[in-house]
């Protein structure tokens, strides 16, 4: 079986959905499982709904109506008959969402987030599945929450691999086209969980691992894995082949084409990963597979914006030792602050982090009891794999360098622009 993942950009409107249909006509669709994300910016729109829900805002109803209106327009563009059963199916999903919003009693933000935001994927795949059937491409709509089982770490759930393997092995139809949702799972009480933002790639890898898939293909609006993000760097070039190791390194440092968790399960079973263009599906794209000789021969650039550089120093000029660093990391883990870079000296410790849950102020209060805390907000972290003198000079040009770290193959620079 092949696993195809299509992200939100590929199904953002009716033309996008028709294009996905066209891609499958060109590359085949038998014995294939599609993992599909929420349409366009739906996840962001549902996050506004969640914010309005917790703020008890008068805008709650309007923000939810915007999400419904967006999907209804796609339906009208795809189906001539408004009596088609897909309209009922989508309205039913939104009715379930509205019921949850009315009846929920839990104050747990992360729990509520997962229950609400999941409707983006549920509605998206419902529309795609019905359209494919309507256009003559028979398929099985699969609720991923019945297959990927997790713990109850809402918004960043951990997969229960044993249970997930059992459900996927028994429940997925072979020699057919299956359509399911990315990003989602469910806990032991069958409440919806999510695998972290951009987790649809990971979903594809989970299914591939459990099904011993032939391959995974991530369909993007770019030709494949580039050596740099074309939005930030001129003259970015396509990497035709890279190793699992290199792809994991690039993902770890923040390359957005492949989700960091995606590669480990694929590497374990040596399942090849392809990154291809849904605009030009017959182009070769990038292949990720086993092999030490697949390292890029050019510098690879990764930039992470909106980072936070925290510098801690001991108040009494004592050394910052292992027990201090252990305590700091424990707090960073507790407050779900992702570490991108660390550097320490005898009496200071600096860390570049991503505070995606907005917990830094609370953390700072605790750290200030033991350390002098300095910080720079909205900094950029540049990583250059296989760096050269010229590539380093280009990245540092016209920027204030706050921190620099160099190893054999990798250079990282924190800058204020």
Which of 145-159, 314-328, 332-346 has the highest mean predicted lDDT (pLDDT)?
145-159
Q: What is the pLDDT of residues 251-266, one digit of tens each?
A: 888 877 787 689 999 9
Share of the chain above pLDDT 70, in %: 99
What digits encode the pLDDT tens for the residues 149-202? 999 999 999 999 999 999 999 999 999 999 999 999 999 999 999 998 678 999
Residue 378 Rama label (left phi>0; alpha psi -120 to 50; beta): left
Q: Which pLDDT score is estimated for 292?
A: 64
In this prediction the pTM is 0.85
pLDDT in tens, 297-318: 899 999 999 999 999 998 887 8
Encoded tokens for 43: 């996840």
The set of long-range contacts for 51-58, using a CB threshold of 8 Å and a minimum separation of 24, is: 53/101, 53/112, 53/116, 54/109, 54/112
**In this model, does residue 114 exceed pLDDT 80?**
yes
Split at pLDDT 50, 70, 90, the class of 360 is very high
Mean pLDDT of 14-43: 98
pLDDT band for position 100 (50/70/90)?
Answer: very high
Identify the three-state secondary structure at position 184.
strand
pLDDT at 307: 97
Beta pairing partners, 385? 300, 410
Contacts of 408 (CB under 8 A, 6+ apart): none
Q: What's the CA gap between 221 and 238, in Å, rounded?
A: 13
The fold for domain 300-416 equals VC0802-like (3.30.2130)
User: What distances in angstroms separate CA 332 from CA 111, 303, 354, one per listed residue?
Assistant: 21, 22, 10
Question: What is the location of CATH 3.40.1160.10 in the chain?
Answer: 2-213
pLDDT at 415 over 70: yes
pLDDT recorded at residue 256: 74
pLDDT > 80? residue 83: yes
Domain with CATH 3.30.2130.10 in the chain: 300-416
User: In this predicted structure, what is the pLDDT of residue 249?
Assistant: 86
Longest dimension (CA), the chain: 75
One of 3.40.50.300, 3.30.350.10, 3.40.1160.10, 3.40.50.10470 is the CATH number of 2-213, namely 3.40.1160.10
- Tell me the average pLDDT across 279-299: 87
User: Does residue 402 carry a pLDDT above 90?
Assistant: yes
**Where does the pLDDT of residue 294 fall: very low under 50, low under 70, confident under 90, or very high at 90 and above?**
low
């Amino acid at each position: 079986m092949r696993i195809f993942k299509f992200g939100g950009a590929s199904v953002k409107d009716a033309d996008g959905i028709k294009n996905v249909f066209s891609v499958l006509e060109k590359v085949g669709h038998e014995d294939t499982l599609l993992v599909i994300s929420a349409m366009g910016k739906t996840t962001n729109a549902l996050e506004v709904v969640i914010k309005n829900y917790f703020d008890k805002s008068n805008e709650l109803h309007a923000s939810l109506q915007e999400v419904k209106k967006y999907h209804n327009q796609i339906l009208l563009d795809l189906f001539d008959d408004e009596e088609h059963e897909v309209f009922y199916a989508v309205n039913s999903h939104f009715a379930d969402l509205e019921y949850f919003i009315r009846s929920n009693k839990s104050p747990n933000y992360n729990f509520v987030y997962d229950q609400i935001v999941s409707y983006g994927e549920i509605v998206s795949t419902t529309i795609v599945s019905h359209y494919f059937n309507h256009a003559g491409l028979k398929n099985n709509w699969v609720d991923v929450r019945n297959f990927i089982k997790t713990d109850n770490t809402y918004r960043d759930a951990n997969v229960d691999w044993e249970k997930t393997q059992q459900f996927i092995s028994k429940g997925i139809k072979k020699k057919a086209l299956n359509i399911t949702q990315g990003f989602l799972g469910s806990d032991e009480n069958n409440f919806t969980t999510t695998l972290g933002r951009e987790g649809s790639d990971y979903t594809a890898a989970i299914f591939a691992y459990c099904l011993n898939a032939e391959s995974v293909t991530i369909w993007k609006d770019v030709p494949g894995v580039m050596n740099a993000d074309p939005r930030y760097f001129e003259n970015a070039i396509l990497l035709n082949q890279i190793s699992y190791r290199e792809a994991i390194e690039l993902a770890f440092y923040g390359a957005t084409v492949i989700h960091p968790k995606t590669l480990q399960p694929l590497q374990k079973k040596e399942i090849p990963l392809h990154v291809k263009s849904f605009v030009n599906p017959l182009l070769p794209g990038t292949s990720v597979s086993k092999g030490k000789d697949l390292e890029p021969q050019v510098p690879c650039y990764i930039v992470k914006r909106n980072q936070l550089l925290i510098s801690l120093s001991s108040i009494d000029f004592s050394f910052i030792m292992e027990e201090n660093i252990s305590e700091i990391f424990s707090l960073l883990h507790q407050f779900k602050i992702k570490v991108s870079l660390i550097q320490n000296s005898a009496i200071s410790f600096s860390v570049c982090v991503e505070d995606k849950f907005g917990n830094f102020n609370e953390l700072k209060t605790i750290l200030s009891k033991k350390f002098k805390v300095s910080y720079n907000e909205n900094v950029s972290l540049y990583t250059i794999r296989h760096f050269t003198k010229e590539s380093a000079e280009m990245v540092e040009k016209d920027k204030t360098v706050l921190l620099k770290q160099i190893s054999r193959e990798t250079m990282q620079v924190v800058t204020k622009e």
